[in-house]
Structure 1
Amino acid sequence: MTSADTAGAAGTAPVRVGVFGLLGSGNLGNDGSLEAVLGYLRTAHPDAAVDALCGGPEVVTARYGIPATRLHWYRGEYRTASRAGAVAGKALGKLVDVFRTAAWVRRHDVVIVPGMGVLEATLPLRPWGFPYSLFLLCASGRLLGTRVALVGVGAAPIRDRATRALVRRAARLAAYRSYRDDRSRDALREMGVDTAHDRVHPDLAFALPAPGASGPQGSPGPVCVGVMDFHGSNDDRARAGEIHRRYLDGTTRFVRALVEDGRPVRLLTGDACDATVVAAILDAVDSPLVTAAGADSLAGLMEETAAASAVVATRYHNLVCALKAGTPTLALSYAAKSDALMARMGLGAYCHPAREVDAGRLLEQFRDLEKRSAELRLTLAERNADVTRQLDDQFAQLTAALFPKTDRTDAHTHAHTHAVRKAP
């Protein structure tokens, strides 16, 4: 019998909670944020009936054990439409999704958008893609009386007028907002949203269980290098190819230098599309010292980074995993969110621009990072303890804002970060 069945047998209807986003679509960071929120719900609100409207419903149901519905009616939503039939299908899908989204929202008391950079355009993005979907969600919530919560989300300044308008309107319509860093809240305020009552907390993925044993604290030792299929931001479309070539060339040179020093290298990814970068580096370096990790979750990435003596990574949630694991980390930073994260965790000096990877300079920074390894591990241990306390506060505030009538105890609310678990 499920928790919802138990509540029904007791004569009380379970609170109906929906989770929304590009979940189950191959991005490990997005799925990690979902896992953290599910852990909170199962600990603090075990009777809640939870389901999802998401990009990969089959994956979400299989991995997390909750019912899930496809986010878009048109299955080719994220494929480039060049033929008339595809263009017409996308256009019809936008109309159909108005009614599908509203019908789904209406079935819930609360809808949570768990983390993710849903209010930013730091990667290539079209306004009629996810920004439009988010606007439909928040507008439906406001019209139908369903509370929509943007929890621990990322935001950044957006130049494209249509995208900015949709994001701003969606944020205004949400019943609750919190952010993963100060820059996100500042960016939304600059876009014209009143953020006076909004809070900032660490990224939701920090609520996931930390890996057990830490890796070697001496050097030389294995190095994790997190790579990304990086082509710049939404504003860099005209020179995306050049940016990608520079990033790949600089990262490859850095990996080769590590191998020449006899260092084993584990290549990490964070999205299915990163596999092409891994293949290119493996082909270019051609050494048994370079291997590719097969982690398919943030838990797997944390285990990889915990076993390393140091990490150099691009994707935001690769950085989160390494920092959570307490491993000295250097960021190939592609957006302000990476700089903010590194500063929060006491490693602000160890950022290198992803758009202009200088292998020589990167190697110098890396060697300095390793010299300070013992000191930085202590810093990370202290910062992680503080992050855990802040996330306890985040979930307690979320309960107060979204579940005011549910029975709860402080023990339930504050124990969630130590009890996050996957559904069978």
Structure 2
Amino acid sequence: MTSADETPVRVGVFGLLGSGNLGNDGSLEAVLGYLRAEHPDAVVDALCGGPEVVATRYAIPATRLHWYRGEYRTASRAGAIAGKGLGKLVDAFRTAAWVRRHDVVIVPGMGVLEATLPLRPWGFPYALFLLCASGRLFGTRVALVGVGAAAIGNRPTRTLVRWSARLAAYRSYRDAQSRDAMREMGVDTARDEVYPDLAFALPTPSAGVPSGPPGPGPTGPGPTGPVCVGVMDFHGGDDDRARAEEIHLRYLDGTTRFVRALVEDGRPVRLLTGDECDAPVVAAILDAVDSPLVTAAEAASLADLMKETAAADTVVATRYHNLICALKVGTPTLALSYAAKSDALMDRMGLGAYCHPAREVDADRLIEQFRALEQRSAELRRTLTERNLVAARQLEDQFTELTAALFPAANQANANANANANANAHARQEAS
């Protein structure tokens, strides 16, 4: 607790939060849960993409990340180009002023050090560099907590990401591949740790009841209940811009054919998303399959996604945090993998054999993998229960380390309290 003569620690959270991506917001929710439990006197606010959403949903003050409101719209007219250019200059001063008001700034999870989806260097990479440089300039501790990273081909983006990581006071990663990628890009990672994704720290809703005994059908013996299919507005990564439309059409066609096969087998299908931009993919599948067995979920949070996946027999999903939600509630899951992070996650949770490339969806092969997954359903549920217990313990260690790195006063107070408790216990033993 903060004594009367102490100033509460000022903590900022930073990122594309409140912008429609459920995974990003789930990472924020996990960090806010940690702060409210371990540092309840901290004064918290955000610099983020969707300040109205963050302020309303999480009850903290929030400021818009970019001065120019059209930052993420394509600029083709001279006025828009000039506005973006001016915005970069203004954001340098805005970010510095915001950082200076804080003792600690936390970037909660997210793939902030990767370019596995299309990304421009003057967008978020530039914003992250401004944050980390301002932290170093003003002595504010900036922490990249449980973040994702990947090798980046574009030189300006790679340079901004590398320097952002170097300037941060604390770094941890959501998988070993992320740490390896930063090491390969020239960042000293000797003191950086790897922990499960922050979303594994969120509360888990009650698990759904698997529906029905094994039954025959095109997908073979196995569960006969609902299947959640998580879709994505997928066009490849930052290096796939020339083939973006080809990749998207192949992904959409393969996923649609898979959904149609499930429906022909009489399986109810629940379509999931993880970002507002995924809605057109849902609409295209609903239009192409046109069956009452196919419905779309309206999830507004990772908690909603977890409830959906807990009620399913099996999940097939693309977005990283769709996978996390399914794995966290213990539902057997197959990944339509679009990046190494998905493969690493599935391997960590004991389902490394059940990955299928999102860039080259082969519906027939996907059905075969789905059949194999469902045949091992009971065994895999037990595996996921064990792996989730391990993940929970590891995230407790992550938050303990974070307190030691970012809140030295609180950490010393806890150490003193423990020492006093041990001394009192020893005195009682001596007295007896």
Q: How high is the TM-score relative to the length of structure 2?
A: 0.92
Aligned positions of 1:14-163 closer than 5 A: 14-163=8-157
Correspondence for 1:420: none
Correspondence for 2:369: 365
1:231 aligns with 2:253: no
Secondary structure at the aligned position of 1:362 is classed as helix
Tell me how far 1:215 sits from its aligned partner. Answer: 3.1
Aligned positions of 1:183-262 closer than 5 A: 183-216=177-210, 218=213, 219-262=223-266
Tell me the distance in 2 between the aligned counterparts of 1:133 and 1:199: 24
Tell me how far 1:409 sits from its aligned partner. Answer: 4.6
Correspondence for 1:324: 328
Q: Which amino acid in structure 2 is aligned with residue 313 of structure 1?
A: A
Correspondence for 1:389: 393
Tell me the distance in 1 between the aligned counterparts of 2:209 and 2:332: 11
Does the CA contact (< 8 Å) of 2:162 and 2:186 recur in 1? Answer: yes
Pick from 404, 407, 421 the counterpart of residue 400 of structure 1. 404
| Structure 1 alignment gaps of length 5 or more | 1-5, 413-424
Secondary structure at the aligned position of 1:405 is classed as helix
Tell me how far 1:214 sits from its aligned partner. Answer: 2.9
Pick from 259, 265, 270 the counterpart of residue 266 of structure 1. 270
TM-superposition CA deviations, 1:270-321 (whole Å, max 9, x none): 0000000000000000000000000110000000000000000000000000
1:279 aligns with 2:276: no
Secondary structure at the aligned position of 2:63 is classed as strand
Q: Which amino acid in structure 1 is aligned with residue 114 of structure 2?
A: E
- Count of aligned residue pairs for this structure pair: 406
Secondary structure at the aligned position of 1:406 is classed as helix
Q: Which amino acid in structure 1 is aligned with residue 295 of structure 2?
A: T
Secondary structure at the aligned position of 2:189 is classed as coil
Secondary structure at the aligned position of 2:7 is classed as coil
Report % sequence identity: 82
Q: Which amino acid in structure 1 is aligned with residue 154 of structure 2?
A: D
Tell me the distance in 2 between the aligned counterparts of 1:391 and 1:409: 19
Q: How high is the TM-score relative to the length of structure 1?
A: 0.94
Correspondence for 1:353: 357
Correspondence for 2:422: none
TM-superposition CA deviations, 1:376-411 (whole Å, max 9, x none): 00000000000000000000000000001026659x
Aligned positions of 1:337-348 closer than 5 A: 337-348=341-352
Deviating more after overlay: 209-218 vs 304-313? 209-218
TM-superposition CA deviations, 1:166-213 (whole Å, max 9, x none): 000000000000000000000000000000000000000000001113
Q: Which amino acid in structure 1 is aligned with residue 254 of structure 2?
A: G
Secondary structure at the aligned position of 1:96 is classed as helix
Tell me the distance in 2 between the aligned counterparts of 1:375 and 1:348: 14
Q: Which amino acid in structure 1 is aligned with residue 309 of structure 2?
A: T
RMSD: 1.4
Tell me how far 1:7 sits from its aligned partner. Answer: 5.0
TM-superposition CA deviations, 1:217-271 (whole Å, max 9, x none): 6510000000000000000000100000000000000000000000000000000
Tell me the distance in 2 between the aligned counterparts of 1:320 and 1:11: 43
Pick from 289, 292, 297 the counterpart of residue 296 of structure 2. 292
Q: Which amino acid in structure 2 is aligned with residue 30 of structure 1?
A: N
Q: Which amino acid in structure 2 is aligned with residue 78 of structure 1?
A: Y
- 4+ long deviations beyond 4 Å: 407-410
Secondary structure at the aligned position of 2:410 is classed as coil
Tell me the distance in 1 between the aligned counterparts of 2:207 and 2:373: 21
Q: Which amino acid in structure 1 is aligned with residue 332 of structure 2?
A: P
Tell me the distance in 1 between the aligned counterparts of 2:158 and 2:89: 21
Correspondence for 1:421: none
| Structure 2 alignment gaps of length 5 or more | 214-222, 418-432
Tell me the distance in 1 between the aligned counterparts of 2:336 and 2:103: 41
Tell me the distance in 2 between the aligned counterparts of 1:7 and 1:319: 39
Q: Which amino acid in structure 2 is aligned with residue 320 of structure 1?
A: I
